[in-house]
Each structure stands twice: as structure tokens, then as C-alpha cells.
Amino acid sequence: MANTWLPPAEYVETLPRATAYACLYFTDTAGRALQLRTTRGEDVWQWPGGNMDPGETPWETAVRECREETGLVFTGEPRLLGTHFVRDRGTRHWPANHIGFIFDGGELTDEQIAAVVLAPEEHTSYALRTLDQWRREMAPGDFARLAAIDRARRTGGPVYLENGPAEA
């Protein structure tokens, strides 16, 4: 079979679909991780972040989504803690691969935490907890992602994470 060159627009149509999200991982000065409870369920916790808009970079997405979801204006430099790949589940729920970029938001002061204002259509509350406390609150796969990102921040080395169809 001979290789046939396709014009870029046609070639792109043959590739798997993917969407992307980006977020910021924050702790307080005691090292407790900040997460937001989503309106999608009592037991679903997330970092400030969301899906990329057209024309945005992952970093721009993380900063914009953090501001929209918490009111916090992050002015630090980009430091990638990890990437997260979620395989296409082949369902109406999310019919594409999903790729995430988790950046280090650093430590929040008590004043910054007190200034958090949640977007009520997206999140019902926020919490700061130790990893041991989060372990009891979260699904095992979600907690494993949190623990890996926390470890990446402490060690200085980024992590690559994957979820298959059953885990996502």
C-alpha cells in the first residue's frame, strides 16, 4: 500500500478528537489542598479550572477559569505539575479524548482564601483539607490524581496521568 499524502485539513479529519482543560492546584500555608465542590454532585471535587476556549493556551485557560470560578486573580508564572489524559468513553457523556493541564497555583494566604467568591452555577462550596482528609471524601481514582499532583509539587517533577473508560 502506497503512502498517500493528504492536505492538512483532510488529514486532520482522520485523527482522533480531543478537548482540553486546564486548572490551578492551590494549597494554603499549612499545605492543605483547595478543591471546589461542583454542582454536578455532592461527592465531586475539582480544582479551579475548566475547558479551553478557542484560541486560548492551557495557561490562559487555567488563569481565566480560576478568576471566573473563585474571583482569584492569579499573577504567577506557569509551572506545570502534570498532564491528565482521559480516553474517549464512546458515550454521549463526553464523545472525545480529554486532555488536562494542571498548573501550580502556589500557596494561598488566609486573606486570599477569605476573598474566594464561587460561581454558583458551577460550584456549591470549597474546602481545604489534608490529603488524609481528602482520601475519605473522594472516589479512589480522583484521590489518586490529587495525590499525584501534590507529590509532583513537592518533588518538582511533573506527572503524566491516564484514565481509561471505566475510571473517567
Phi, psi of 37 (to 5 degrees): -85, 120
Q: What is the mean pLDDT of the chain?
A: 91
Greatest CA separation found in the chain?
Answer: 65
Cell 474517549 belongs to which residue? 88
Per-residue pLDDT tens digits for 44-99: 899 999 999 999 999 999 999 999 999 999 999 999 999 999 887 666 676 788 99
pLDDT bucket at 167, cuts 50 / 70 / 90? very low
Domains and CATH numbers, the chain: 16-163 (3.90.79.10)
Q: List, as one string, the DSSP characters of 117-166.
A: ---TTTEEEEEEE-HHHHHHHS-HHHHHHHHHHHHHHHHS--EEEEE-TT
Contact 158, 82 (CB under 8 A): yes
Least confident among 6-10, 90-94, 112-116, 156-160: 90-94
Give the whole-angstrom CA distance, residue 93 versus residue 82.
24
What does 63-116 look like in DSSP terms, one character per residue?
A: HHHHHHHH-----S---EEEEEEE---SSSS--SEEEEEEEEEEEEPHHHHHT-
pLDDT digits (tens, 9 = 90+) for 119-150: 999 999 999 999 999 999 998 989 999 999 99
